[in-house]
């Protein structure tokens, strides 16, 4: 899989979005539908930041990981 995520993008996903989604899931109820959806969102954010690739970026043509001169 092609690397299409830069360092800043990965840091935001792993240390801002995922923890925020987990906290919100507990606030609204971990067993509720909304809580489960937020846990899934957090898992996707952590997984995509770990593999340095976001499948949604490919059809959208986004590449935050390319080296710029």
69 lies in a domain?
Answer: no
pTM above 0.75? yes
The total domain count for the chain is 1
User: pLDDT tens for residues 5-15?
Assistant: 999 999 999 99
| pLDDT value of position 68 | 56
Host domain of residue 29 = 7-53
* 1 in a structural domain: no
Predicted pLDDT of residue 1: 80
User: CA 48, CA 51: separation in Å to the nearest integer?
Assistant: 5
Predicted confidence at residue 51, as pLDDT, reads 95
pLDDT digit string (tens) for 55-69?
A: 999 999 999 987 655
pLDDT tens for 17-42 read 999 999 999 999 999 999 999 999 99
Burial of 54 (0-12, 13-18, 19+ CB in 10 A): buried
Residue 11 lies in a domain: yes
| Domain assignment of residue 38, yes or no | yes
């Amino acid at each position: 899989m092609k690397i299409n995520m830069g360092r800043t993008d990965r840091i935001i996903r792993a240390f801002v979005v995922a923890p925020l989604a987990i906290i919100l899931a507990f606030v609204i109820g971990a067993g509720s539908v909304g809580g489960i959806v937020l846990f899934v969102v957090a898992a996707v954010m952590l997984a995509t930041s770990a593999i340095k690739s976001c499948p949604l970026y490919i059809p959208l043509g986004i590449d935050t990981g390319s080296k710029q001169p």
